[in-house]
Amino acid sequence: MTDASLNTEYDVVVIGAGPVGENVADRVRAAGLTAAVVEAELIGGECSYWACMPSKALLRPVVARADARRVPGLAAAVRGPLDTGAVLAHRDSYASYWKDDGQAAWLDGIGADIHRGTGRLTGEREVAVTASDGTEHRLTARHAVVLCTGSRAVVPDLPGVGTARPWTSREATSAQKVPGRLVIVGGGVVGVEMATVWQALGARVTLLVRGTGLLPKMEPFAGELVAQALTEAGADLRTGASVAAVHRPDPDGPVTVELEDGERIEADEILFATGRAPRTDGLGLETVGLEPGSWLIVDDSCRVEGSDWLYAAGDVNHRALLTHQGKYQARVAGAAIAARATGAPPLETGPWGAHAATADHAAVPQVVFTDPEAASVGLTLAEAERAGHRVRAVDYDLAAVAGSGLYADGYRGRARMVVDLDREILLGVTFVGPGIGELLHSATVAVAGEVPVHRLWHAVPAYPTISEVWLRLLETYRG
């Protein structure tokens, strides 16, 4: 392995070695540029150890059992509880036991130097790295510094929260035992996925939501169907519920959650799934005229507004807080940096659009891995109307598709496409139902590619699959 401490000058310095930072380094190295990657925690970042990978490893057995229970001839064989030890062990293996040897070897294999420690800007194209033993060394970037430090969970400043030891997404995805009683605050993606997991593993889950429903950034029916399933599974879902304080007088005892209406709920753990904030504190942003702790505004090449050398990709730019979108931005940023370093036209997109991120404006896909799954891409009906588009929502009951009945008895689900009536293209698509996550890429291609509805008519879905819903949606639209 290369001794990174021997090198102090690189073409590109990347701060943050999560999936986004790794992909930036890969792209600039492939273009022949030298690269350093600075990481204070585990190489592989939040996604690998506390988010995407462990959460989906926990959810897969839960959803597979639920699917099996709806299949004739198989349902009786899966009536028993999940093997909690096996589920947690499966999760541990997908989190690489919280060791980053494999990820570090991959970075070394592409020829990127790894600098372990906390990185911060000290001026234009300058980065100081402070190691865990307090020693410091400085790196200089000839062409670009890329900030890929991601985001952190936000815990609200409530009375008692400082001593209550609340869970965030990190603790919820890495816990080594099932809490007897779990209160979850927040009805977004983290809240509903973790409610699905821990309820299925035996916890008594209470889900507290300030608003009127779950998954507020999706079509309303998505949250309604997920809420119905969670309630049927035994979770106690309360909407319009706000937490006023939390109390845990005994560090080893239960936590009491006090609601604004005065009700108290006792639990073994409380998870706050109440949003994210950028990891930009302590990055030295003030040395280059930016505000510490702020989201960073970037152009479509992920270059920070007002700079010709500083880039920000992934969560820190607040365009789309999803791993796959961050990796997409990383590919764009790496290509743009390489083009500018070699004198190519900086925003010459060519047929691939390689130097400009456009899909994170209006074609962002997301799957929520609950039972049922919820998946969407593009704009909801409400978002499209607020944006001033003349649109029509076309809905279809997924239970009426032949493939869904074969997939599961009692299948429940719904599909919607939002059609721009002036251009006759799709602005958004939403699916809710068991097994629909794999349908989403076809919708993403339709939305990102602005495929005319009349051409989609000739994309014939295989029979009998759930994807036949595309034909039914188009038939409904044609009338």
Q: What is the DSSP string of 346-404?
A: TT--TTTTTT---HHHH--EEEE-SSSEEEEEE--HHHHHHTT--EEEEEEEGGGSHHH
The tens digit of pLDDT for each residue in 230-274 reads 999 999 999 999 999 999 999 999 999 999 999 999 999 999 999
Give pLDDT, residue 277.
97
Average pLDDT on 265-285 reads 97
Average pLDDT on 339-365 reads 74
CB neighbourhood size of 73 (10 A): 6
- Domain spans in the chain, listed from the N-terminal domain onward: 4-44+100-152+278-359, 161-274, 372-478
User: Which CATH architecture fits 4-44+100-152+278-359?
Assistant: 3-Layer(bba) Sandwich (3.50)
Give pLDDT, residue 274.
96
pLDDT higher than threshold 50 for residue 1: no
Give pLDDT, residue 270.
98
Write the CA distances from 89 to 47, 54, 61, 175, 247, integer angstroms: 18, 10, 12, 11, 32
Question: Which of 3.40.190.10, 3.30.390.30, 1.10.3720.10, 3.50.50.60 would CATH assign to domain 372-478?
Answer: 3.30.390.30
pLDDT higher than threshold 90 for residue 41: yes
Instruction: Provide the residue type at 30 as one letter.
Output: A
Band of residue 353 on the pLDDT scale cut at 50, 70, 90: low
The tens digit of pLDDT for each residue in 446-465 reads 999 999 999 999 999 999 99
Give pLDDT, residue 2.
43
CB neighbourhood size of 286 (10 A): 10
Length of the chain counted residue by residue: 479
| Fold adopted by 161-274 | FAD/NAD(P)-binding domain (3.50.50)
Distance CA 274, CA 296 (A): 21
62 phi/psi in degrees, rounded to 5 = -65, -50
Distance CA 12, CA 141 (A): 5
Spatial strand order in the sheet of 255-259: 243-247, 255-259, 264-267
